[in-house]
Amino acid sequence: MRTRLPPSPTGFLHIGNLRTALFDFLLAKQTKGIFYVRVEDTDRERFVPGAIESMLRSLQWAGISPDEGVMFDANGEVIQKGPHAPYFQSERLDLYKKYAEELVEKGHAYHCFCTPERLTEMRKQQEALKKAPMYDRHCVHLSKEDVAAKITAGERHVVRMKVPHERTVTFNDDIRGEVRFQGHTIDDQVLLKGDGFPTYHLAHVVDDHLMETDLVIRGEEWLSSLPKHILLFEWLGWAPPKYAHVPLLLSKDRKKLSKRDGDVAVEEYIQKGYLPEVMVNFLALLGWNPGTTQEIFTMDELIEQFSLDRVQKAGAIFDLEKLNWLQGQWMRKISPTEFAARILPLVAEKFSAAATDKDFVRKAALIQERITFFNEAPEMLTWFYKEPHASVELLASEKQKITKEQLPEIFQALENILSDVPEKNWTVEGLKTAVQSNLGNFKQGQLLWPLRAALTGLPYSPGAFEVAEVLGKEKTLERLKKAESITQ
């Protein structure tokens, strides 16, 4: 199957476009087909320099690299590769012009010379009459001679399609099933603009045919334009590809996801430290469900399991909590050595001692259980490389039923217990046994909270025994003494 992503280079890659790209990619890979990128740069006013590079970077980051079309070469330069080049629409203007002329020739399109002022006036009147805004066909009856004369005189014009009002256009959408449209509700869409550039409607029809696209996956917002596209295929004598209109992304209050609800550009998620695997996993579940309770998916599993018939019609809610939960799940999936290697540069930047720390992997493993983003690692490991400063307020804990007055006694007990533990038993298990069998009048939590807080200086950290084990006996006792001194 040949699938495609045709972004308009008007900014960063939108998270919804990444989802579309993912669905395209999964189906292409599933069928050992081709996923290609075409750049729809026909709106010169909205062109943003650097947008193509940024979009390709986002795709590459997610592991959704094109097999054909616009892509990076090995040196990171943007190139076009494949049998259907050029893949930039701005380099294909002659083609669109040729097909627009063919449509005029066949009587399916006409030249329109209406000025912007006239069109604005027309729209105002329609609005006043509460009519749907539609071109009033003012130019449809111009004779061939009139048209030729106006063109020769240099009058600015567009080419519009002539929608047969009596027709009903039906089509089978791969997600929505049969959809029907009445001809009289369809506007005479502009196909070729005054500047000679095509609109999306004509350009994508021409390109999806010439580039042999089998399936067009695009946002639901295009569904109402579908009949125009179906008519164009018909008039040009081409079989249309399959179409699948994916559901909108909605915010939690069920409105169309927008910048106000948080980040919508993929680049922002990259910067925040989300793993590409997480984004892929998350986006796959935005609209698609596997029909099982499985929630964690690798790209390979998605390639195997994804299908359009499990994509819903209703809007898909973008749930940031779910995204963060997935991020946590994926953080735990990384092997401990790889995890350590990923965070080492970040930690070493803050604490140079980490760079030569032989015990780093063991320390990293302690935080892997609770970390969400790699950049939290330096903070979470601070207490290994810097003496903590626990306050009395932190050492005591209302929740654990520890008063400030009890602290000196608690620290005394801890020191007694721990100094008796021989080096060979200085392990999580050995420490646990020692503390549990010497609780005296205290509850376990009353000893463990101050121990952990004294060793790390933090309200949240890995457990007391894990921390003590990695710190070693000498450092542990040293920190206990220091904490004790502030409780007197």
State which residue, 40 or 188, has the beta carbon closest to ligand GLU.
40
Question: Is the Cβ of residue 200 or residue 318 nearer to ligand GLU in the bound state?
Answer: 200
**Which residue lies nearer to ligand GLU by CB, 104 or 211?**
211
How far apart are CB 56 and ligand GLU at their closest, in Å?
14
CB closer to ligand GLU out of 213 and 382? 213
Residue with tokens 């909270």: 449
Considering the complex, what minimum distance in angstroms separates the CB of residue 383 from ligand GLU?
A: 49
Q: What is the Cα gyration radius of the chain?
A: 32
**Among residues 2, 18, 28, 40, which is the contact residue for ligand GLU, using CB under 6 A?**
40
Which of 6, 9, 66, 450 binds ligand GLU (CB under 6 A)? It is 6
Q: Encoding tokens for residue 278?
A: 């997480």
327 binds ligand GLU (CB under 6 A): no
> How many residues contact ligand GLU, by CB under 6 A?
8
423 CB-near residues (< 8 Å, 6+ apart): 473
Which stretch in 1-9, 104-112, 335-343, 364-372 sits in contact with ligand GLU by CB under 6 A? 1-9
Residue 200 Cβ vs ligand GLU, minimum distance, rounded to whole Å: 6
Q: Which stretch binds ligand GLU (CB under 6 A): 4-12, 62-70, 287-295, 308-316?
A: 4-12
Q: Of residues 7, 241, 276, 315, which one binds ligand GLU by CB under 6 A?
A: 7
Beta strands of 15-64 (E only): which ranges? 34-37
The rounded distance, in Å, linking the Cα atoms of 400 and 50 is: 55
Please choose, out of 6-14, 59-67, 171-179, 460-468, the segment that lies near ligand GLU by the rule CB under 6 A. Answer: 6-14
Distance (Å, whole) CA 293 – CA 234: 43
- Reported residue count of the chain is 488
204 binds ligand GLU (CB under 6 A): yes
Between CA 310 and CA 285 the distance in angstroms is 10
CA distance linking residue 230 with residue 214, whole number of Å:
14
Residue 69 as a binder of ligand GLU (CB under 6 A): the answer is no
Pairwise CA distance, residues 400 & 210, whole Å: 71
From residue 181 to residue 200, what is the string marking binding to ligand GLU with x (rule CB under 6 A)?
Answer: -------------------x
Per-residue contact flags (x/-) with ligand GLU for residues 453 to 482, judged by CB under 6 A: ------------------------------
* Interface characters, 208-227, with ligand GLU (x: CB under 6 A): --------x-x---------
Annotated catalytic residue within 32, 130, 144, 259: 259
- Dihedral of the alpha carbons of 209, 215, 218, 222, in degrees to the nearest 10: 60
Tokens of 258: 């927008």
- Nearest-approach distance from CB 279 to ligand GLU, in angstroms: 19
* Known catalytic membership, residue 475: no
CA distances 370 to 36, 269, 336, 460, Å, are: 39, 20, 13, 10
H/E/C letters for each residue in 269-285? HHHHCCCHHHHHHHHHC
Closer CB to ligand GLU, residue 216 or residue 470? 216
Count of other CB atoms within 10 angstroms of residue 92: 20
Instruction: Looking at residues 227 to 256 of the shown chain, list those that interact with ligand GLU (rule: CB under 6 A).
Output: none
- Which stretch, 2-10, 49-57, 91-99, 322-330, contacts ligand GLU (CB under 6 A)? 2-10
The whole-angstrom separation of Cα 68 and Cα 37 is 7
Q: Is residue 8 near ligand GLU by the rule CB under 6 A? A: yes
Smallest distance, Å, CB 92 to ligand GLU?
Answer: 14
Output 204 or 452, the one with its CB closest to ligand GLU. 204
List, in sequence order, every residue forming a beta bridge with 161; answer none if it has no partner. 109
Q: Is the dihedral of CA 102, 103, 109, 114 positive or negative?
A: negative
Reduced to 3 states (helix: H, G, I; strand: E, B; else coil), residue 172 is: strand
Using Cβ positions, the residue closest to ligand GLU within the complex turns out to be: 218
Which residues is 190 bridged to in the sheet? 160
Per-position DSSP letters for 320-389, written without gaps between them: HHHHHHHHHHHHHHS-HHHHHHHHHHHHHHH-GGGGG-TTHHHHHHHHHTT-SSGGGHHHHHHHHHS---
Q: For residue 104, which phi and psi values (nearest 5 degrees)?
A: -65, -50
- Shortest distance (Å) from residue 277 CB to ligand GLU: 25
Give the nearer residue to ligand GLU in terms of CB position, either 243 or 274: 243
Instruction: Write down the least CB distance from residue 70 to ligand GLU, Å.
Output: 13
Q: Which is nearer to ligand GLU, 7 or 388 (CB)?
A: 7
Q: Which helix (H) or strand (E) holds 406?
A: none
430 half-sphere exposure, CB direction, 13 A CA radius: 14
Please give the residue ranges that form the binding site for ligand GLU (CB under 6 A). 6-8, 40, 200, 204, 216, 218
Residue positions annotated with a catalytic role: 259
